[in-house]
Amino acid sequence: MGYDVKNALETGKTALGIEFGSTRIKAVLIDGDNNPIASGSHDWENRYENGVWTYALDDIWTGLQDAYKNLAEDVKTQYGVVLKKIGAIGFSAMMHGYMVFDEKDELLVPFRTWRNNITGPASEKLTELFGYHIPQRWSIAHLYQSILNGEEHVGKIHTLLTLAGYIHWELTGRKVLGVGEASGMFPIDIATKDFNARMVAQFDELVAEKNYGWKLRDILPQVLVAGEEAGTLTAKGAKLLDVSGNLEAGIPLCPPEGDAGTGMVATNSVAERTGNVSAGTSVFAMIVMEKELQKVYDAIDLVTTPTGSLVAMVHCNNCTSDLNAWVGLFREFAESFGMKVDMDELFGTLYNKALEGDADCGGLLAYNYFSGEHITGFTEGRPMFVRTPESKFNLANFMRVHLFTSLGALKTGLDILFKEEGVQADRVTGHGGLFKTKGVGQGILAAAMNTPVSVMETAGEGGAWGIALLAAYMLNRKDGETLDAYLNEHVFGGNTGTCVAPKAEDVAGFDEFIKRYAAGLAIEHAAVANLK
């Protein structure tokens, strides 16, 4: 093994993926068999300045350089090799947001990240104009809101990019985006795998009276699909990435992608009728569609896979925070009796207890709203537990209702897809903290979706591994080999993880719970209004 890896490192038969998450920048190097062989990371935090969530440009570059330096040191420590050659590189980052530059390539306003919900009027107006849901996070919503606000920088815009696109541009000189990332800037035409030309024209007409010196297409990047080459690392780019100067220029780069796309790759869910659910502090589901939706829904965002297939995304702000708080209370109870508590064991015991509860949680009700939840129409939240005198109140039902409600808002959105639009999914892969206790969160998600749910032992190194795989795909794919086929054959080799099928009584129980959940939203509204 060591010899092969050393050879791969010295001959450049490797691929590097670097992903900018909201709290960590992670770099993962993979060998010719797509296995991670080295990694490095750097922790960072967004700042809230002048009413905007942002990261400073300096933080982006010092963070990238530190993550790369840590990776190079890991390679040196493990294999005794100075990292000079890499087969291909890919960058990804949290999607959406707003980075605009003037003709001298200077940043015009601080980077506005996906966390900013400051584009409500723009989002509503554009959704109505296009007949297509435009979330507040999208770059086009930020641009139009800047126009509505009368911000003076708009007339000077020469380039509009996302974080992943900006980093790629600085390292290669090319303004390009992978189609998945581009789908969080502006709607994509699934037929052309490019920005929707009709909507681009509608936008230009909408702002024509402002007489800006640009048309929308002039300032947007070029859209590429997975497998296409997106430029090479320039000499300037190599020095920016590796301050030691060891890394050679000329390395090919794949199209930069968003964290949604890299998550799809890392869970092998890029084919039609597959999907993945990421469940931790927040939760989102992505289902790869066979056709367009018949209507526009506020609860459903439309993005694409890195190959340009349509994906319906349901994103909820709240998932496990309230559940974790209750588990913390049980820990405090145990410690009051002088017991030493192992948290993994506590989670495992309490989660498994939920399996003993009544299918519909015995009439109990809970809301896990630490913050607002747009799917059910809340701008603020109040975590809440409610029961009637007749409810079957025991530990099993108590744990079960808190697991159910962690997926309550998600189910509300998914029911639109599955029940109203007739969307079908053959396989869904779960990843994130909710699935740590074997079989429990997985079985409850299967019940909520009425679909088999798989959990892999490892989704590799997450999104950084996903973008490394996209770089390797560009480098190694055979003529006409699809990303789906490449992942199945060369990466996952038929490994779909452990699969749990939905049980009929759990599906019926979840449906019963969700009726109670919908009826009880008035109680949550009253709590928000009256508990300040």
pLDDT in tens, 101-141: 999 999 999 999 988 888 999 999 999 999 999 999 999 99
In whole angstroms, give the CA distance from residue 172 to residue 180. Answer: 20
- Burial label for 62, CB within 10 Å (0-12, 13-18, 19+), is middle
Average pLDDT, the chain: 94
pLDDT in tens, 64-92: 999 999 999 999 999 999 999 999 999 99
Same-domain pairing of 153 and 242: no
295 part of a folded domain = no
Any idea what the CATH number is for the domain that residue 104 is in?
Answer: 3.30.420.40
Same-domain pairing of 388 and 522: yes
Same-domain pairing of 43 and 191: no
User: Is the per-residue pLDDT at 245 higher than 70?
Assistant: yes
Q: How far out from the chain centre does Cα 437 lie?
A: 22
Same-domain pairing of 353 and 371: yes
Minimal CA–CA distance to 447: which of 293, 302, 277?
A: 277
Three-state SS string across 132-168, please? CCCCCCCHHHHHHHHHHCCCHHHHHCCEEECHHHHHH
Span 314-342, average pLDDT: 95
In this prediction, residue 379 carries a pLDDT of: 84
pLDDT in tens, 182-230: 999 999 999 999 999 999 999 999 999 999 999 999 999 999 999 999 9
Same-domain pairing of 428 and 519: yes
**Which band of pLDDT confidence, cut at 50, 70 and 90, is reported for residue 337?**
very high
**Which band of pLDDT confidence, cut at 50, 70 and 90, is reported for residue 158?**
very high
Query: What single DSSP character describes residue 252?
Result: B
**Which band of pLDDT confidence, cut at 50, 70 and 90, is reported for residue 462?**
confident
Same-domain pairing of 80 and 111: no
Same-domain pairing of 418 and 532: yes
Same-domain pairing of 389 and 525: yes
User: Is the per-residue pLDDT at 433 higher than 90?
Assistant: no
pLDDT in tens, 311-322: 999 999 899 999
Least confident segment among 1-5, 24-28, 276-280:
1-5
338 part of a folded domain = yes
**Which band of pLDDT confidence, cut at 50, 70 and 90, is reported for residue 403?**
very high
Same-domain pairing of 249 and 205: no
What's the structural domain count of the chain? 3
In this prediction, residue 374 carries a pLDDT of: 85
User: Is the per-residue pLDDT at 416 higher than 50?
Assistant: yes
In this prediction, residue 3 carries a pLDDT of: 47
Same-domain pairing of 106 and 74: no
CB burial string 414-443: b at 16+ within 10 A, e below: bbbbbeebebebebbbbbbbbbebeebbbb
Same-domain pairing of 362 and 408: yes
User: Is the per-residue pLDDT at 428 higher than 50?
Assistant: yes
In this prediction, residue 1 carries a pLDDT of: 43
User: Is the per-residue pLDDT at 460 higher than 60?
Assistant: no
33 part of a folded domain = yes
**Which band of pLDDT confidence, cut at 50, 70 and 90, is reported for residue 494?**
confident
Q: Using DSSP bridges, classify how beta strands 52-54 and 47-49 pair: parallel, antiparallel or unpaired.
A: antiparallel
In this prediction, residue 395 carries a pLDDT of: 98
39 part of a folded domain = yes
Same-domain pairing of 343 and 441: yes
Secondary structure E strands in 395-522: 427-431, 453-455, 498-500
Domain that holds residue 239: 1-94+229-267+456-501
Q: Using DSSP bridges, classify how beta strands 15-20 and 88-93 pair: parallel, antiparallel or unpaired.
A: parallel
In this prediction, residue 458 carries a pLDDT of: 59
416 part of a folded domain = yes
**Which band of pLDDT confidence, cut at 50, 70 and 90, is reported for residue 461?**
low
Place of tokens 């859209």: 223
